[in-house]
């Protein structure tokens, strides 16, 4: 089990392929296809951030946590907490709407957060890091922008939503984000031994 958890980002590649095949081969409405495509995108995104080239944990510590600690063993982050956070967030924000298509705010939340990912990787991280590339940029730019533009510019019908759908959507993904990446459970999992980040995962091309 530890071996599987320590390779969660590599397993994500196969899960991305599975979601992409379903989106391509199974007849369904366009919004469902876009949600499946978003899932495939995010699984690939996890691999770029933690697998190859890796290095997102370092970015997260510098930009999101404001820490300059060079020793990754002191970050309180490991493969167990990373898998819990990323897969858990994806399950609640991107997979759950596939089974609850009538819950409007969930669909909005999924694409709003995809837009937030584009903003973070394309604007905020490059400015804060003073670097052209950050782990996750390629998958975000290559696929995230396309999915967001296609949803909001092509298939989104504002008349189907009311103002509180947007409010609930923001609250929903904020609560899920906190639970997945900032909750006591996340940090507790990050302290468990046996799930260390590799140097590739932790630092990627940005390591010394």
pLDDT for residue 59? 95
86-90, 170-174, 183-187, 202-206, range with the lowest pLDDT: 202-206
Q: Is the pLDDT of residue 208 over 60?
A: no
Q: pTM higher than 0.85, yes or no? A: yes
pLDDT for residue 152? 80
pLDDT of 17-41, one tens digit each? 999 999 999 999 999 999 999 999 9
The per-residue pLDDT of the chain, averaged, comes to 93
Q: Is the pLDDT of residue 65 over 80?
A: yes
> Once rounded to an integer, what is the mean pLDDT over residues 141-149?
78
CB 16 within 8 A of CB 40: yes
pLDDT of 153-195, one tens digit each? 777 777 788 999 999 999 999 999 999 999 999 999 999 999 9
Q: Is the pLDDT of residue 139 over 80?
A: yes
> Once rounded to an integer, what is the mean pLDDT over residues 132-157?
84
> Once rounded to an integer, what is the mean pLDDT over residues 129-143?
90
pLDDT for residue 207? 60
Percent of the chain with pLDDT over 70: 99
The confidence band for 198, taking pLDDT boundaries of 50, 70 and 90, is very high
pLDDT for residue 141? 83
CB 69 within 8 A of CB 75: yes
Q: Is the pLDDT of residue 151 over 80?
A: yes
């Amino acid at each position: 089990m530890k071996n599987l958890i320590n390779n969660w980002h590599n397993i994500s590649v196969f899960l991305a392929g599975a979601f992409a095949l379903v989106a391509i081969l199974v007849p369904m409405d366009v919004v469902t296809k876009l949600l499946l495509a978003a899932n495939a995108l995010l699984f690939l995104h996890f691999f770029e951030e933690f697998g190859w080239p890796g290095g997102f944990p370092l970015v997260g510590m510098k930009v999101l946590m404001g820490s300059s600690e060079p020793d990754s063993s002191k970050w309180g982050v490991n493969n167990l907490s990373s898998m819990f956070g990323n897969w858990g967030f994806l399950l609640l924000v991107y997979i759950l709407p596939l089974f609850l298509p009538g819950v409007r705010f969930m669909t909005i939340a999924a694409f709003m957060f995809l837009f937030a990912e584009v903003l973070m990787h394309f604007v905020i991280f490059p400015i804060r890091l003073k670097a052209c590339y950050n782990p996750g940029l390629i998958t975000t730019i290559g696929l995230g922008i396309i999915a967001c533009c296609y949803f909001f510019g092509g298939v989104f019908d504002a008349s189907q939503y009311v103002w509180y759908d947007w409010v609930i959507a923001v609250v929903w993904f904020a609560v899920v984000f906190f639970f997945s990446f900032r909750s006591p459970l996340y940090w507790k999992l990050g302290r468990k031994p046996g799930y260390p980040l590799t140097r590739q995962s932790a630092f990627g091309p940005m390591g010394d």
